[in-house]
Amino acid sequence: MGMLDIFRKKKHEEKSAQIKRETQPRRQEQIREAERERKIAKTKEGRRFPRWARFPWWRKLLTVLGIIGIGLAIWFIVQSSCLPTPTHHLGITINPAGSGSVSPIHGYYSDGAQVTLTATPASGYEFASWSGDASGTSPTATITMSSNKDVTANFRVIQYTLATSVSPPEGGSTSPSSGSYDGDSSFTLTATPSSGYEFVSWSGDASGTNPTVTITMDSDKNVVANFVTIMQEITYTMPTGTISGSVVSFSNILNRGDIVEGFVELTGQYYTTDWSFRWTFEILAPEGRRVDVFHGHWVRRNHHDFSFTAPYTGSYKIRVRHNSSYDKYLVIKIRPKGW
């Protein structure tokens, strides 16, 4: 290859390189321009109305309404599945107020729930019954919550029985008498003796020798009021014309160990002829032995006190001998047993 060829080749390469340098920016510009036109065409394509938009208006309306209906149906199904179970209110009332409590207390319960109520009385009260939407006398009741319920728990004051008696029956009385009283109530029980008797003691569910006693009704009570005779009076009038040396007798059966005490006296009008009057008072045991004896005079010795303990059981006799022919009033008073 000659020098001329080499020069031509070099010249050609230089010219090709220059052309390449001159055409490369233009080529890149063309690429960018084509990319821009492609994006614009794509954007315009997205803005075109869909095919169904060319449908008649009534068809469009039906389509929209159908879509809305389907949406509403789906919403209703979802909401129905999420609705809570219906609830009902249970109301509780205590009668009278403060007399007790009920568990559980008032509140809301699901439909069909079964609630067991338990009534607990306060101190001094007892459960009586359920009323309202429950019934019965058992302190527990089961309620089915099919609707709103109102239940009343009725309580009453506990009452206890007081039984009083008197010994001996004719000895006296008590006030107040037997009856029913509220639990834990307190009152004063008073013993009142009959004529010729005196109160000695309480027995049973009370004690002491005071005729008044305080009773607290925390349970059933049985109280006895005990009385004894003070003096039992035996009177006898010796009639006029009584034969001198006549006898007046009074008998009674005593038990061994019985204590008998009292006095005997004669009263009446004084007569001058009675200065010689004599009388004798005797108490005789069942076998005839003298337990007590007294020799009196109408004016100087007309009163005698006596006291003895029965040595054994049997019929004892009081005997008065006299020699008066005039009316005389004989008085014998004995404690504690009468004749």
Q: What would the pLDDT profile of 298-325 be if each residue is shown by its tens digit?
A: 777 889 999 999 998 999 999 988 877 6
Handedness of CA 71, 72, 78, 81 (dihedral sign): negative
- pLDDT (0 to 100) of residue 116: 95
How far, in Å, CA of 186 to CA of 163, rounded? 15
- pLDDT (0 to 100) of residue 267: 78
Hey, where are the domains in the chain?
88-157, 160-229, 232-335
The torsion angles phi and psi of 40, rounded to 5 degrees, stand at -65, -40
- Tell how far CA 260 is from the center of its chain: 52
Q: What is the pLDDT of residues 36-49, one digit of tens each?
A: 777 766 665 555 54
User: What does the buried/exposed string (b/e) look like for 323-336 if buried means 16 or more CB atoms within 10 Å of the residue's CB?
Assistant: bbbbebebebbbbb
Q: What is the pLDDT of residues 172-185, one digit of tens each?
A: 999 998 889 988 88
How far, in Å, CA of 91 to CA of 83, rounded? 25
Tokens of 156: 């009453």
Tokens of 238: 């010796």
Most confident of 41-45, 194-198, 291-295: 291-295
- pLDDT (0 to 100) of residue 59: 72
Q: How high does pLDDT run on average in the chain?
A: 83
End-to-end CA distance of the chain: 191
Residue 244 has pLDDT above 70, yes or no: no
3-state helix, strand, coil in the chain (%, to 5): 25, 45, 30
Nearest of 281, 299, 303 to residue 291 by alpha carbon: 281
> Helix (H, G, I), strand (E, B), or coil: what is residue 19?
helix
58 secondary structure, DSSP code: H
How far, in Å, CA of 205 to CA of 213, rounded? 11
Tokens of 306: 């006596």
Nearest of 318, 282, 276 to residue 297 by alpha carbon: 276
Tokens of 31: 């690429």
As assigned by CATH, the class of the 232-335 domain is mainly beta
For tokens 């049997």, the residue is: 314
Average pLDDT over residues 136-158: 95
How far, in Å, CA of 89 to CA of 112, rounded? 12
Tokens of 162: 């007081």
How far, in Å, CA of 216 to CA of 223, rounded? 12
For residue 120, how many other CB atoms are within 10 A of its CB?
Answer: 13
Three-state secondary structure along 69-129? HHHHHHHHHHHHHHCCCCEEEEEEEEECCCCEEEECCCEEEECCCEEEEEEEECCCEEEEE
How far, in Å, CA of 102 to CA of 97, rounded? 12
- pLDDT (0 to 100) of residue 63: 75
Q: What is the pLDDT of residues 74-113, one digit of tens each?
A: 877 776 666 567 889 999 999 999 999 999 988 999 999 9
Name the pLDDT band for 339 (thresholds 50, 70, 90). confident
- pLDDT (0 to 100) of residue 24: 64
CB within 8 Å of 282: residues ≥ 6 apart: 290, 292, 293, 294, 317, 318, 319, 320, 321
| pLDDT higher at 57 or 227 | 227
CB distance 102 to 120 below 8 Å: yes
